[in-house]
Amino acid sequence: MSDFPTVVFAPGQRIFNAGDAADHLYFIQAGTVQLLDAQGQVFVEITDGESFGEQAFLQGGVRGATAQAKNEVSCIQIASEDANQMLSEASPLWVPVFEALLLQQNMHNALRSPMA
């Protein structure tokens, strides 16, 4: 994943808002990210080694929740445009595998949420 940029977010900084375009996937290297519902309440916290932003990542779409940094957060950021380009150049087998992994991550996040 060294070809993708690392981004750093300050404590309290919004990473994206509900309703924004779903155009990036993030892998947390350090720190904690809070996901907030429509009322601005934290419904789950994710940390080192976990990912977020996978919902509707490849097909496009909008964010279903708001993400903000709880403390200083360092993430690997993958643009959907870059991921789609890589997948178009790879074996056709990789597209359903990657989509299945994103779906599995989405389901994992939904199960962790007390709102699920």
Strand 14-16 versus strand 66-69 pairing type? antiparallel
Q: Contact, 66 vs 40, CB < 8 A?
A: yes
Spell out the domains of the chain, with CATH numbers in brackets: 6-112 (2.60.120.10)
Residue 115 predicted with pLDDT over 60: no
pLDDT in tens, 57-67: 666 678 889 99
- Over residues 10-31, mean pLDDT: 94
CA dihedral 18, 19, 24, 27 (to 10 degrees): 10
Report pTM.
0.76
